[in-house]
């Protein structure tokens, strides 16, 4: 009923036409209202977007910031809040909770978005449905409206049709009227006509009357015609009008009907669309429900997670706050404890150090000063005593000595006076003048002056200083040396050094630590362990202890120093003064015998020395005067003195006079004679020398010059000296003599000697072409040393005639005129090269630059001679000849073609020279070295060398030479990557690949490319550093998971590490065996590893033929390679297993795709027969080796996956020993025993004869 109430009239109308349609629309509306009803439950507020907004998601508890927590922290913070275990734990919890919330937030957001999406979709569908419904309803309304107009129109039509019938009938009537009239007119006219004709034929009087009558009648009949016609016309028009109206009406009815049909058709379409959308709506509804169902639990989980996270964050931050409060509190306590302890310690140290040092210093200074003063006193008293003693002794000694000395002196004086007089008299009698006395006077005066100056000045200065400095000194001095130079003497703050303790203790001790004997942790060291002494530091939370210590250490240090600084002066100085005073008193009052003795001696000496001369002089004078008045001339003093003084006086005076006379005479004579003598010798010598010039040539070498003379006339005078070229030398000489020089010769560096034409007298002569020589052969660019020597024999005094000579003894005019002439060619050849890379069978042009280095242009045909050390003729065309060359030219005409492999991959050295008339005038200075390359060609059974020939041509040539040339190897040149692309891509098959690397990984890309597709091949890395394999292992994808097994193979006398590429992990097609070899042993490795270039099938076949009853114990390369390969395959599978736990690998172990399985199954039957003995022997040998290797061979035992190992062992044992736990059936090995017990026993004793590994 409700539904009916909600229906609009239009819908009712529509219902009549399309009842199903309207029902669907109603359903849709209901569905919408149901959704609206769900809204509050799902949080879908506006029907379309159903997501949790911020409020609905819940409040994320803000994390409190603790960045500034240590603002009030004292000391250098060594802790972090995270150092606290509980904080760290809660931080982790909070972080985890936050992380999981974040993850949930993401999920929630995704799910909300998904819901939003399906809701949007649903909304879109709803919108379409509503649109369709309204369109349908509108169309129905329109249709009804049209239909309502059709019925009246039909009614009108019917009426119109009735009217038409009436009109038609009227028209028929009028038309009949007209026809009637016309018929009557016709009858009348016919009558008239008949009458007229009959009258004409037979005129009768009544004829006219008849005619007239008839005419009148006609007139009468005719009269109603016009009206009738008019009436008829009107009637006809009415008919046609009615017809038109009817037609019009019919059209309208038709169109309305058509419209109705169209609307119906459209509505049908809409209905079908509507039903489609209804279906979609149902699906969308289901999607919305599903999304909501997904979202609901997530919202619940999210809310839980959010609560958990907020709680965790709160727990963490609360704890942090508490801990921070406790840290700051304990830190503050630490600071005050430190302050107190520091103060105590500072004072303690100041006391300890200051007192001790004050004692020491004061004592020392006091002792020093006291000793000095005491010693001085002792000394002074000694002096007083000594003075008395000295005076007394001086009196005694002075009397004795004075008398004796006076007597002697008087005798000596008298003797001296008399002796001197006598000697001097004797000397003057010998003509020695008294100039000595004059000189003595003069010198004495000079000396007196000099001495007086020196001594007097010093004395005056000293006296002046003394005078100026002596007053008031004592009153202004600070006692003690250097007092007043203010460098503090108090001890330094000891820092954190320990000090030795002595002295009193400081009393301030707020924390009572002093009371404990052990308050100081380690003797007299800084106290860094207050926690042992303070309740405050006792906490089992380490972070608090650290906080305590941080502050403690800081304030402890500061206050310790501050207190020290405050106290030290006092402690030190007071102690110092005390000790100094005490020591001074002690030491200044002591008796110092040594000083007393010294003073006594000094006093004695002083007074003795003062008294003694006086006394002595007194008695001396007395004696002297007495003796002088009356000398005893026989006294020994007299006689001795007289003799000696007389003689010395004589000698002295005599010498004086003699010297003086000598000097004067010598000078005078010299002055008088010197001009005459000079002139005499001058003139004689002049004549002699002049004679030499007059009668001889006197030559001087001036210069020489050189020019180039060419070779057979070629290359002459071009300023360039080439080997073998003639040199022409000009010599210039001057002849100062009056006679021509006729015997001058010139010798050259090559030993040739030429005599020059006569050199005219008194002239300078240049001899052109005086000598000829040749540039010796030598390297271009080096110098030829030209040495020109000129000789002329000496005929007169060498010193004069040869004065310009270099060496008169050899008659050589010059040392040697040396000119360094650089060997060069006039033509410089350079830049010889091919146009592009030299490839086999590809023609290439050569080019060469020639430049003229000489000072003149060259003409005439000049030929370029090219040569190359090829084995075949590779130069197919020579350079064109040159007609003239002034500056330079580039030639390109020559061509080269390497057509034979004999000249490929070997150095080709091109040289060139240019000749004119057979004379070489230029040579290519650096020969062009190149190498012809060839793309890879397969050579069956021959190894393939992989190399970048551009980077490593040297080793390529060496290795090729080792392999006896290119005939025995193929070269896969990586520098020809384009030409060799196919080979690199397709890989190689059953090849020994020699990789030549350069320690720079030049081949890695090529090797990697090859590894992908290469099959059944070995790869041997050869390089000087033995690094190629390691580089490839690091860089080549195909080698990444290669298995390494150390092999001891037949043919190798040392272990060989082999790497087997892993086809299950590294995307390679097959296992390639790789080994590192050196230049020395690579051929051995090549030979040994050739057994590995084998397919699995060939391994089976070959090793199945290799062993016999007689040779099974001799190591066989094929069997060894097979076993090695089988082991490598298993290891590769195992390594793949390690990386991915894959069941298919276990299946692989059971399948016959692996070599070991193929070998096991090759005999086909476990029973040993003569026909399958070889195969059985191969599999037995393999079994023994592998079985042992997985248990004890280092490269395998620890590295093989246990599942692979047990599978391998199971597979082998099943075949070899039998199957099943209880061995239900026998295995091959049992059958061997049955087949040949002797053989069985031998093999059982020598199980590993074919082992490729050292087991």
CB of 589 to other proteins, least distance (A): 20
CB of 579 to other proteins, least distance (A): 10
Strand partners, 1019: 993, 1074
CB of 468 to other proteins, least distance (A): 6
CB of 382 to other proteins, least distance (A): 22
Is 65 or 479 the residue whose CB approaches other proteins more closely? 479
CB of 550 to other proteins, least distance (A): 12
Taken as a whole, the chain contains a residue count of 1255
- Using an 8 Å Cβ cutoff, are 645 and 420 in contact? yes
- Using an 8 Å Cβ cutoff, are 513 and 493 in contact? no
Is 75 or 423 the residue whose CB approaches other proteins more closely? 75
CB of 573 to other proteins, least distance (A): 6
Is 1 or 488 the residue whose CB approaches other proteins more closely? 488
Return contacts of 1213-1216, CB within 8 angstroms, 24+ apart. Answer: 1213/1187, 1215/1160, 1215/1161, 1215/1166, 1215/1179, 1215/1183, 1216/1160, 1216/1179, 1216/1180, 1216/1183
Question: Which residue do the tokens 């590893």 mark?
Answer: 1089
Pairing of strands 1073-1077, 944-947: unpaired
Residues 1 and 812: their CA atoms lie apart, in Å, by 153
Question: Which residue do the tokens 């196919």 mark?
Answer: 982
Is 492 or 510 the residue whose CB approaches other proteins more closely? 492
Is 365 or 646 the residue whose CB approaches other proteins more closely? 365
Is 364 or 1199 the residue whose CB approaches other proteins more closely? 364
Is 245 or 570 the residue whose CB approaches other proteins more closely? 570
CB of 81 to other proteins, least distance (A): 22
Strand partners, 309: none
Is 122 or 580 the residue whose CB approaches other proteins more closely? 580
Is 479 or 507 the residue whose CB approaches other proteins more closely? 479
- Using an 8 Å Cβ cutoff, are 1212 and 1138 in contact? no
CB of 469 to other proteins, least distance (A): 5
- Counting Cα atoms < 13 Å in the Cβ hemisphere of 384 gives 5
Is 69 or 493 the residue whose CB approaches other proteins more closely? 493
Tokens of 593: 């015998």
CB of 473 to other proteins, least distance (A): 5
Is 563 or 1129 the residue whose CB approaches other proteins more closely? 563
Alpha-helical regions (H) of 497-631: 542-588, 593-629
Residue of 353, 334, 360, 329 whose CA lies nearest to 561: 353
CB of 562 to other proteins, least distance (A): 5
Residues 549 and 531: their CA atoms lie apart, in Å, by 8
Residues 1166 and 1149: their CA atoms lie apart, in Å, by 19
Number of other residues whose CB lies within 10 A of the CB of residue 479: 7
Pairing of strands 882-885, 858-868: antiparallel
CB of 583 to other proteins, least distance (A): 13
Is 1 or 485 the residue whose CB approaches other proteins more closely? 485
Is 362 or 631 the residue whose CB approaches other proteins more closely? 362
- Using an 8 Å Cβ cutoff, are 987 and 980 in contact? no
Is 487 or 887 the residue whose CB approaches other proteins more closely? 487
Residues 1059 and 1062: their CA atoms lie apart, in Å, by 9
Is 68 or 683 the residue whose CB approaches other proteins more closely? 68
Strand partners, 759: 741
Is 331 or 844 the residue whose CB approaches other proteins more closely? 331
Residues 1182 and 1120: their CA atoms lie apart, in Å, by 9
Strand partners, 912: 866
Dihedral of CA 506/509/515/517: which sign?
negative
Residues 760 and 758: their CA atoms lie apart, in Å, by 6
The CA-atom distances, in angstroms, between 613 and each of 391, 610, 619, 622, 715 are 11, 6, 10, 14, 111
Q: How far is CA 379 from the centre of its chain?
A: 83
Tokens of 836: 């592009």
CB of 568 to other proteins, least distance (A): 9
Residue of 1035, 958, 1026, 1038 whose CA lies nearest to 1003: 1035
Pairing of strands 745-747, 753-755: antiparallel
Residues 576 and 441: their CA atoms lie apart, in Å, by 67
CB of 79 to other proteins, least distance (A): 18
CB of 460 to other proteins, least distance (A): 13
Give the footprint of other proteins on this chain (CB under 8 A).
76, 361-362, 365, 461, 465, 468-469, 472-473, 475-490, 492, 554, 557-558, 561-562, 565-566, 569, 573, 576-577, 580
Q: In the β-sheet with 753-755, what is the strand arrangement from edge to edge?
A: 753-755, 745-747, 783-791, 817-822
The CA-atom distances, in angstroms, between 263 and each of 18, 23, 26, 135, 268 are 12, 19, 21, 10, 8
CB of 470 to other proteins, least distance (A): 9
Residues 1178 and 1108: their CA atoms lie apart, in Å, by 9
Contacts of 487 (CB under 8 A, 6+ apart): none
CB of 603 to other proteins, least distance (A): 23
CB of 483 to other proteins, least distance (A): 5
Pairing of strands 970-973, 944-947: parallel
- Using an 8 Å Cβ cutoff, are 867 and 912 in contact? yes
Instruction: For residue 1175, give the 3-state DSSP assignment.
Output: helix
CB of 479 to other proteins, least distance (A): 6
Is 317 or 550 the residue whose CB approaches other proteins more closely? 550
């Amino acid at each position: 009923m409700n539904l009916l109430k909600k229906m609009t009239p239009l819908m009712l109308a529509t219902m009549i036409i399309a009842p199903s349609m309207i029902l669907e629309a109603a359903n849709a509306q209901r569905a919408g209202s149901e959704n609206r009803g769900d809204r509050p439950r799902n949080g879908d507020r506006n029907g379309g977007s159903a997501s949790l907004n911020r409020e609905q998601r819940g409040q994320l508890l803000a994390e409190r910031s603790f960045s500034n927590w240590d603002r009030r922290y004292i000391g250098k913070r060594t802790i972090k809040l995270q150092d606290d275990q509980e904080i760290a734990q809660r931080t982790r919890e909070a972080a985890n909770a936050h992380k999981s919330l974040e993850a949930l937030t993401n999920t929630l957001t995704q799910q909300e978005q998904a819901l939003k999406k399906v809701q949007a979709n649903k909304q879109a569908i709803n919108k379409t449905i509503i649109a369709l419904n309204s369109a349908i309803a509108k169309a129905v309304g329109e249709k009804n409206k049209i239909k309502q107009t059709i019925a009246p129109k039909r009614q009108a039509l019917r009426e119109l049709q009735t009217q038409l019938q009436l009109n038609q009938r009227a028209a028929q009537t009028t038309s009949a009227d007209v026809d009637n009239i016309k018929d009557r007119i016709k009858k009348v006219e016919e009558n008239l006509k008949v009458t007229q004709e009959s009258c004409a034929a037979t005129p009768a009087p009544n004829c006219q009357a008849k005619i007239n009558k008839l005419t009148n009648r006609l007139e009468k009949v005719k009269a109603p015609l016009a009206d009738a016609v008019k009436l008829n016309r009107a009637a006809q028009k009415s008919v046609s009008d009615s017809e038109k109206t009817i037609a019009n009406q019919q059209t309208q009815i038709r169109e309305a009907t058509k419209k109705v049909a169209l609307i119906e058709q459209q509505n049908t379409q809409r209905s079908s669309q509507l039903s489609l959308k209804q279906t979609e709506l149902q699906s969308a509804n289901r999607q919305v429900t599903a999304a909501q169902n997904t979202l609901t639990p997530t919202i619940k989980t999210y809310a839980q997670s959010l609560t958990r996270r907020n709680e965790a964050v709160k727990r963490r931050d609360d704890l942090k706050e508490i801990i921070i409060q406790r840290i700051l509190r304990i830190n503050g306590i630490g600071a005050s404890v430190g302050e107190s302890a520091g103060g105590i310690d500072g004072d303690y140290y100041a006391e300890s150090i200051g007192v001790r040092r004050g004692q020491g210093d004061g004592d020392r200074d006091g002792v020093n000063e006291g000793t000095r003063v005491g010693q001085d006193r002792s000394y002074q008293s000694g002096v007083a005593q000594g003075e008395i003693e000295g005076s007394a002794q001086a009196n005694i000694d002075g009397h004795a000595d004075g008398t004796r000395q006076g007597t002697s002196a008087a005798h000596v004086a008298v003797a001296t006076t008399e002796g001197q007089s006598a000697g001097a008299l004797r000397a003057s009698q010998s003509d020695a003048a008294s100039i000595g006395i004059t000189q003595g006077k003069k010198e004495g005066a000079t000396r007196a002056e000099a001495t007086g100056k020196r001594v007097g000045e010093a004395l005056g200065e000293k006296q002046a200083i003394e005078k100026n400095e002596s007053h008031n000194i004592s009153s202004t001095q600070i006692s003690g040396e250097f007092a007043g130079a203010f460098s503090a003497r108090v001890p330094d703050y000891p820092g954190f050094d320990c000090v030795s303790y002595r002295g009193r203790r400081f009393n301030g001790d707020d924390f009572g630590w002093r009371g404990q004997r052990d308050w100081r942790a380690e003797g007299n060291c800084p106290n860094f362990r207050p926690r042992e002494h303070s309740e405050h530091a006792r906490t089992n939370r380490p972070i608090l202890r650290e906080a305590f210590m941080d502050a403690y250490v800081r304030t402890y240090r500061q206050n310790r120093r501050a207190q020290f600084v405050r106290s030290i002066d006092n402690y030190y100085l007071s102690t110092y003064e005390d000790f100094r005073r005490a020591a001074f008193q002690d030491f200044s009052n002591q008796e110092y015998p040594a000083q007393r003795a010294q003073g006594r001696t000094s006093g004695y000496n002083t007074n003795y020395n003062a008294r003694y001369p006086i006394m002595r002089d007194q008695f001396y004078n007395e004696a002297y005067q007495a003796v002088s008045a009356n000398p005893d001339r026989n006294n020994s003093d007299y006689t001795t003195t007289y003799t000696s003084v007389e003689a010395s006086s004589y000698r002295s005076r005599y010498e004086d006079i003699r010297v003086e006379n000598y000097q004067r005479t010598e000078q005078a004579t010299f002055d008088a004679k010197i001009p005459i003598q000079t002139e005499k010798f001058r003139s004689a010598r002049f004549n002699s020398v002049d004679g030499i010039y007059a009668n001889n040539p006197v030559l001087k070498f001036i210069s020489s010059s050189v020019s180039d003379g060419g070779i057979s006339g070629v290359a002459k005078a071009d300023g360039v000296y080439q080997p073998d070229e003639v040199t022409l030398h000009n010599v210039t000489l001057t002849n100062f003599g009056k006679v021509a020089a006729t015997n001058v010769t010139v010798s050259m560096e090559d030993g040739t000697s030429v005599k020059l034409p006569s050199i005219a007298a008194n002239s300078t002569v240049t001899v052109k072409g005086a000598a000829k020589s040749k540039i010796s052969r030598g390297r271009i660019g080096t110098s030829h040393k030209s040495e020109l020597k000129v000789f002329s024999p000496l005929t007169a005094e060498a010193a004069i005639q040869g004065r310009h000579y270099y060496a008169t003894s050899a008659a050589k005019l010059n040392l040697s005129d040396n000119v360094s002439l650089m060997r060069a060619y006039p033509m410089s050849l350079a830049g010889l090269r091919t146009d592009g890379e030299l490839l086999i069978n590809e023609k290439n042009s050569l080019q060469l630059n020639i430049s003229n280095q000489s000072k003149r242009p060259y003409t005439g045909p000049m030929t370029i001679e090219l040569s190359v050390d090829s084995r075949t003729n590779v130069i197919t065309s020579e350079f064109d000849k040159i007609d003239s060359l002034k500056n330079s030219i580039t030639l390109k005409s020559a061509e080269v073609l390497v057509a034979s492999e004999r000249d490929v991959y070997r150095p080709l050295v091109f040289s060139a020279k240019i000749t004119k008339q057979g004379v070489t005038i230029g040579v290519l200075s650096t020969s062009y070295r190149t190498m012809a390359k060839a793309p890879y060609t397969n050579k069956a059974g021959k190894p393939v060398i992989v190399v970048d020939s551009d980077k490593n041509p040297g080793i390529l040539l060496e290795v090729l030479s080792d392999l006896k040339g290119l005939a025995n190897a193929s070269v896969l040149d990586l520098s020809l990557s384009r030409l060799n692309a196919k080979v690199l891509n397709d890989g190689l098959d059953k090849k020994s690949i020699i990789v030549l690397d350069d320690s720079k990984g030049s081949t890695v890309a090529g090797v990697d490319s090859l590894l992908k597709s290469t099959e059944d091949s070995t790869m041997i890395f050869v390089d000087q550093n033995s690094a190629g394999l390691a580089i490839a292992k690091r860089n080549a994808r195909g080698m990444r998971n290669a298995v390494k097994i150390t092999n001891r193979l037949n043919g190798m006398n040392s272990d060989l590490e082999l790497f087997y590429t892993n086809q299950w992990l590294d995307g390679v097609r097959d296992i390639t065996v790789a080994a590192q070899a050196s230049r020395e042993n690579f051929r051995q490795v090549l030979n040994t590893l050739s057994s590995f270039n084998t397919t699995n099938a060939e391994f089976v076949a070959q090793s199945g033929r290799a062993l016999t009853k007689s040779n099974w114990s001799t190591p066989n390369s094929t069997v060894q390679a097979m076993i090695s390969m089988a082991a490598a395959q298993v290891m590769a599978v195992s390594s793949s297993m390690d990386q991915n736990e894959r069941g298919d690998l276990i299946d692989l172990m059971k399948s016959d795709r692996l070599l070991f399985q193929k070998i096991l199954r090759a005999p086909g039957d476990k029973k040993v027969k003569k026909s399958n003995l070889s195969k059985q022997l191969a599999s037995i040998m393999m079994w023994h080796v592998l079985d042992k290797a997985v248990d004890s061979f280092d490269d395998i035992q620890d590295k093989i996956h246990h599942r692979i190992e047990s599978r391998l062992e199971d597979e082998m044992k099943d075949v070899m020993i039998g199957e099943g736990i209880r061995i239900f059936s026998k295995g091959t090995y049992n059958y061997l025993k049955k087949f040949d017990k002797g053989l069985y026993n031998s093999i059982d004793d020598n199980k590993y004869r074919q082992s490729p590994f050292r087991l």
